[in-house]
Amino acid sequence: MRKRQYRIGTRGGPLALKQAHELKGRLMAAHGLDEDCFEIVVLSTKGDRITDRPLSEIGGKGLFTLELEEQLSDGRLDLAVHSSKDMATKLPDGLYLSAFLEREDVRDAVIGRTAPSIEALPEGAIVGSSSLRRQALIRRLRPDLNVITYRGLVETRLRKLAEGQVDATLLAFAGLKRLGMEEVVTHLLDVESFPPAPGQGAICVESRIGDGEVAQLVEPVNHAATHAALLCERAFLKELDGSCRTPIAGLAQLVDGTLTFSGMILKPDGSEAHEISAEGDPVKAVDLGTEAGRTVRERAGADFFADWA
Ligand SMILES: NCc1[nH]cc(CCC(=O)O)c1CC(=O)O
C-alpha cells in the first residue's frame, strides 16, 4: 500500500478518542504501517456544544457528525470514525460507511446508587437517561419510576449520580468498557427485556465513495458479521424513519451463518410496545431489516405513530 498520510476525523470526547485510537491501531497492525501514517483530527460537533437540552429537542440525527462529514466531503479528512448508534440512516451524498469494527458487548448497563438494578429501585426512584429508547423501556418495566432527562459526558453523568441528583443511570456497556470503567456497573440488562439501540457497541468508519485507496485501507479491519448485523439494523431504522424522537430498539446477530433480528418500537411513555423477530441469510441483511420494519409498523398501526409523532 502506498504510504500516504491518512487523516482520521473524530469528536473530542474521551470515548470518541478511544475509538479513533482503536481504529488507528488496527489499521497500523493490518498493514504494518507506522504511527506517522495517520493523523487524528479532533473536531467539535453541534451535539458536543449543546449540552443543556435533550438531544430529541435539538432535533435530527447528524448532530454529532455534520462537521466531520463536511471535512470528509471536501477532502480535509480521509476517514471519520463514529459510534454506529449516532449515525443517521441517510448519509450525505458521496459518503458511505466503509467498515465496521468487531462489535463490543451490546448491552445497556445500570449504574445504581441506591439500588443495583431497575427492579431493585424503590418506588418513585429517579432514573436519569437522555435516550428516548431507554426512557421508554424503563417506564415499560417500572411505570412508577421517575425518569428524567440527563445528558453529558460519561464523567459528568457519574458525577451527578454521585452527588445524588439521580438514583440510577444507564449507559452502553460498550462505552464503559472502552473507557476502562466497567467497575461502575451495578447490573447488566439482558437484550430480551431491554433491547439495545440499532448500532450500539459498534465503531464504524465513514469515507468517500470512490476513494479506492481508503476502501483498501479499511477492508482488513472490517468485521463481516458486524457489518451484516449493522446493515440489517440500519435498514430497520430507516424503514421506521428512525429519528431522535422515536424509541426504537433493534439487534441483529449472526449465529451459525443465520442472521437473527429482533426489533421493538415503543411509545415514549412505555405504555405500548410492538416487537418483531425475523431471521434470514446475512447476504440479504438489508431486506431482512426493511421487512421487519414494515411488519412492525403494520402491527403498531397508524394511530401508534399519530399519537405522539
Ligand atoms: N449517543 C451517545 C453514545 N453513542 C455511543 C455510545 C456508547 C458506545 C456505543 O454504543 O458504541 C454512547 C453513550 C451511551 O449510550 O452510553
Which residues partner with 282 through β-bridges? none
Topology agreement, domain 1-101+202-222 and domain 108-188: yes
**For residue 58, what pLDDT is reported?**
63
171 lines ligand 1 (CB under 6 A): yes
The three cell numbers of residue 140 are 415499560
- Note down pLDDT in tens along the chain; length 309 residues: 555 799 999 999 999 999 999 999 999 999 999 999 999 999 987 777 776 666 666 656 677 798 999 999 999 999 999 999 999 999 999 999 999 999 999 999 999 999 999 999 999 999 999 999 999 999 999 999 999 998 888 889 999 999 999 999 999 999 999 999 999 999 999 999 999 999 999 999 999 999 999 999 999 999 999 999 999 999 999 999 765 577 999 999 999 999 999 999 999 999 999 999 999 999 999 999 999 999 999 999 888 877 655
Rounded to an integer, what distance in angstroms lies between the CA atom of residue 70 and that of residue 33? 27
Active site residue 281: no
Q: How many CB atoms lie within 10 A of CB 272?
A: 14
86, 108, 167, 211: the active-site residue: 86
Instruction: Give the SS3 label for residue 6.
Output: strand
Strand positions, DSSP E, the chain? 6-11, 38-43, 79-83, 95-100, 108-112, 126-128, 146-148, 168-172, 187-188, 203-208, 248-255, 258-266, 273-280
174 lines ligand 1 (CB under 6 A): yes
Q: Which CATH class is domain 108-188?
A: alpha beta
Q: Among the atoms of ligand 1, which is closest to the Cα of residue 104?
A: 11
Residue nearest to atom 1 of ligand 1 (CA): 86
For residue 259, the surrounding DSSP H or E stretch is strand 258-266
- The residue ranges of every structural domain in the chain are 1-101+202-222, 108-188, 224-309
83 lines ligand 1 (CB under 6 A): yes
Fold annotation for 1-101+202-222:
D-Maltodextrin-Binding Protein; domain 2 (3.40.190)
For residue 96, the surrounding DSSP H or E stretch is strand 95-100
Rounded to an integer, what distance in angstroms lies between the CA atom of residue 200 and that of residue 83? 7
**For residue 246, what pLDDT is reported?**
79
**For residue 190, what pLDDT is reported?**
97
Q: Quote the radius of gyration of the chain (alpha carbons, Å).
A: 19
201 lines ligand 1 (CB under 6 A): yes
| Sheet containing 6-11: order of strands | 38-43, 6-11, 79-83, 203-208, 95-100
Residue nearest to atom 11 of ligand 1 (CA): 201
Rounded to an integer, what distance in angstroms lies between the CA atom of residue 211 and that of residue 216? 9
Architecture, CATH, for domain 224-309? 2-Layer Sandwich (3.30)
Q: How many CB atoms lie within 10 A of CB 198?
A: 29
Q: Among the atoms of ligand 1, which is closest to the Cα of residue 178?
A: 8
